[in-house]
């Protein structure tokens, strides 16, 4: 018989919910807090946990982390009474985590619990861990990233996320937010998508009648973020002449809406993001130095997919399972396909990988349970200039080796020790190969 743990501090809901669960023929235990839930889990095993998103002593996501840390493997369904949170929860849900929104009907609970029973035997492949509810990967670069997230989460320091386009900067911002202010949605805005005329209004708000079209008062994102997290994406695309206004807010923690006279105190953590390299930031005309030091109190580099290729099969599993759940299908990978994905170049990083899997999913035969990968993954960004590498008929092994060494050195800014590690050879061997080519400078 299915063992269900219902975790919710709403006693009226738990009374009705438990009656429905028992009526459906399942055993149910009730906890009204994280503490009580942990006590139940320590004394009894459960097949399914119905979990309120917000509890008196923390978030339901904390209990999910507790389950993972203790190797408990029940199916988890998050419950929220706030429809606005639904979109955020959708991004956190993994293969064994679902969500439903109050008010619930008997049919909702029945569908949720019966789906667990029907799918227990279907998913035999061990599913990857979702760190902080949203991050996937067990490679050394990702473990280092998790450590940095945990450290900065204990503080109120502003964070600047740096990395190539598509590495998942907003997902990392969500991870930081989830373990610090996850009782409310993270507020996000893209600085590169705002016109110069609207940046001040978007960031700081405006009063009614302050400019043409201001037909009502509007709160800016700093105020809307409250005591939570404000994510400023593409911060380096903000015009230089607008940046002093941002500096004042970061220093004084006060904003004045456009057309207003009264200062408003703000208290949010600012997580900013850029795909610019450090060398570009130092060249000027991108971001003011004083702004950088205010935003990048704790800078974090997010590794590209090429720096953590061993995580590609894990990501592929997560993406495919999400598509399976959305479309009620049972597609699976074979090891050869995962190897193909792992060995492919992904210039668009995780975003490109996800879109490629989605395309393959759409093109696969719905009558088959095995997804069909295309013969090639063509991207216009794989080779964009004369510094790109390509294999052409008639090239010698020496040509290919030379090109491989060159692009690897370019990737690590000429660091030969790192290049040797990436190539899987000793530093001495790399130097020997460089000496063999006249046009390399050693």
Q: Are 55 and 29 in contact (CB under 8 A)?
A: no
Distances (CA, A) of 402 to 233, 413, 414: 38, 16, 14
Q: What is the predicted pLDDT for the residue at 170?
A: 95
- At residue 121, the pLDDT reads 36
What angle, rounded to 10 degrees, do the helices at 427-436 and 397-411 form?
Answer: 120
| Buried-state track 233-261, b at ≥16 Cβ within 10 A, e below 16 | bbbbbbeeeebeebeebbeeeebbbbbee
H or E element at residue 362:
helix 349-363
Q: Which residues of the chain have pLDDT under 70?
A: 80-96, 99, 101-103, 115-126, 181-182, 284, 378-400, 423-424, 437-442
Measured at the alpha carbon of residue 99, what is the angle toward residues 93 and 101, in degrees to the nearest 5? 145
Query: Residue 192: its pLDDT value, please?
Result: 86
Q: Answer yes or no: are the C-beta atoms of 75 and 112 closer than 8 Å.
A: no
Contact call for residues 28 and 72 (beta carbons, < 8 A): no
Assign 264 to helix, strand or coil.
strand
CA pair distance 242, 287, nearest whole angstrom: 10
pLDDT, tens digit, for every residue of 231-246? 999 999 998 888 888 9
**Residue 311: closest CA among 165, 126, 140, 195:** 140
Residue 345 near residue 306, CB atoms below 8 Å: yes
- What's the pLDDT score for residue 81? 56
Q: pLDDT tens digit string along 180-218?
A: 866 777 999 999 888 887 888 999 999 888 888 788 889
> How far apart (Å, rounded) are the C-alpha atoms in residues 99 and 435?
59
CB 89 within 8 A of CB 81: no
Q: What is the pLDDT of residue 386?
A: 41
150: its two tokens = 């945990």
What's the pLDDT score for residue 56?
80
Sequence spans of domains, the chain: 3-119, 140-301, 305-363, 397-436
Q: Round the average pLDDT of the chain to a whole number and report it.
A: 83
**What is 3-119's CATH number?**
3.40.50.2300
* Class of domain 397-436 as given by CATH: mainly alpha
Provide the CATH topology of domain 140-301.
Answer: Rossmann fold (3.40.50)
CB 31 within 8 A of CB 7: yes
Q: What is the pTM of this model?
A: 0.60
Same fold, 3-119 and 140-301: yes
What is the architecture of the domain spanning 305-363? Orthogonal Bundle (1.10)
pLDDT of residue 96: 59
Rounded distance, CA 147 to CA 300, Å? 11
The pLDDT, as a whole number, for residue 392 is: 56
Q: pLDDT tens digit string along 270-327?
A: 999 999 988 888 776 889 999 999 999 999 999 999 999 999 999 999 999 999 999 9
């Amino acid at each position: 018989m299915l063992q269900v743990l219902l975790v919710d501090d709403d006693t009226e809901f738990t009374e009705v919910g438990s009656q429905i669960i028992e009526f459906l023929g399942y055993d149910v235990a009730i906890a009204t807090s994280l503490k009580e839930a942990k006590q139940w889990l320590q004394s009894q095993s459960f097949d399914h946990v119905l979990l309120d998103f917000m509890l008196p002593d923390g978030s339901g996501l904390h209990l999910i982390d507790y389950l993972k840390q203790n190797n408990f493997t029940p199916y988890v369904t998050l419950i929220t009474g706030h429809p606005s949170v639904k979109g955020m929860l959708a991004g956190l849900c993994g293969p064994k985590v679902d969500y439903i929104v109050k008010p619930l009907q008997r049919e909702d609970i029945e569908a949720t619990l019966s789906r667990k029973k029907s799918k227990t035997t279907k998913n035999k492949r061990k599913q990857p861990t979702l760190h902080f509810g949203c991050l996937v990967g067990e490679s050394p670069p990702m473990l280092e990233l998790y450590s940095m997230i945990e450290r900065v989460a204990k503080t109120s320091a502003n964070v600047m996320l740096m990395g190539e386009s598509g590495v998942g900067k907003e997902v990392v911002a969500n991870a930081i937010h989830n373990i610090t202010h996850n009782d409310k949605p993270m507020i996000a805005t893209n600085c590169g998508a705002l016109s110069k005329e609207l940046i001040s209004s978007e960031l700081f708000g405006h009063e009614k009648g302050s400019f043409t079209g201001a037909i009502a008062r509007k709160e800016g994102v700093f105020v809307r973020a409250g005591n939570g997290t404000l994510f400023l994406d593409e911060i380096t695309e903000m015009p230089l002449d607008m940046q002093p206004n941002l500096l004042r807010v970061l220093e004084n923690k006060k904003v004045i809406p456009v057309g207003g006279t009264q200062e408003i105190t703000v208290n949010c953590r600012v997580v900013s993001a850029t795909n610019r390299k450090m060398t570009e930031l130092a060249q000027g005309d991108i971001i003011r130095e004083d702004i950088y030091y205010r935003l990048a109190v704790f800078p974090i580099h997010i590794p590209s997919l090429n720096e953590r290729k061993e995580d590609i099969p894990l990501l592929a599993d997560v993406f495919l399972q999400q598509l399976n759940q959305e479309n009620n299908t049972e597609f699976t990978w074979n090891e050869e396909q995962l190897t193909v994905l792992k060995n492919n170049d992904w210039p668009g990083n995780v975003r490109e990988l996800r879109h490629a899997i989605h395309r393959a999913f759409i093109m696969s035969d719905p009558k088959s349970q095995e997804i069909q990968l295309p013969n090639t993954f063509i991207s216009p960004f794989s080779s964009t200039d004369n510094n790109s590498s390509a294999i052409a008929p008639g090239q010698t092994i020496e040509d290919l080796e030379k090109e491989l060494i060159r692009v690897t050195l370019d990737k690590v800014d000429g660091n030969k020790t790192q290049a040797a590690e990436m190539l899987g050879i000793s530093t001495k061997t790399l130097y020997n190969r460089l000496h063999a080519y006249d046009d390399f400078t050693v």
